[in-house]
Amino acid sequence: RYKLFQTLKHMPHEVRVRYCNIDYDREIAIVAELTENGKRKIIGTARVSIDPDGKSGELAFLVADPWQGLGLGTKLVDYVIEICRERGLETVYAIMVPDNLKAVELMKKFGFTLRYTEEGVIKGTLKLKEETPLTPAGMPSEICEEASKPAGKEAEMVSTS
C-alpha cells in the first residue's frame, strides 16, 4: 500500500490492468481531464477501493501540480464521497504521509478524524452514516420516541372504558 507514496520507475502489468479496468463492485474511480492542443490529458483522479466488508473504503486522490490549489481536489473528493454515500458505505478513510499538507488540510475540510499510525502515516476517517443511538433497552431511540407519544382518540377511548 505505501509504495504509492513514492515515485515508481516501473508499474507491473497487473497493476496497470487493475487501474484501467475498474471492478465497479469493489472500486469507484473518477478522473478530471483537460484537452490541450487536441490531446486529452488526465489532471486529477479520485478513487475508493471498497473493503471486503462492503461497509468501508479507502480513498486515494491525486491532482497534478499545475492544477493544485484551484479546488479540483475538493470537487473530486466531494464527488467520490457522495457516490460512497449512495452506495451505502458507512466509512471512508484515507492514508496520507504527514508532509502532504494539502491532502491533510483537504481531509480536515471534509471533517475527517485524523490520527497518526504506528507506521508513521496519518489515517483520516470519515463516518458517512450516523449511528442510531440506542436506549438502555437496546432499541433505537426514534422507535422509543414514537412509542412514547400520546395515543390517538381510538386508544384514549379504549383506555377509558
Domains and CATH numbers, the chain: 2-130 (3.40.630.30), 132-161 (no CATH)
Please say whether the beta carbons of 30 and 45 come within 8 A: yes
Q: Dig out the grid coordinates for 122 from the structure.
A: 496519518
- Residue with more model confidence, 91 or 134: 91
Please say whether the beta carbons of 48 and 80 come within 8 A: yes
Each residue's pLDDT tens digit, 97-124: 999 999 999 999 999 999 999 999 999 9
pTM of the complete model: 0.69
DSSP 11: -
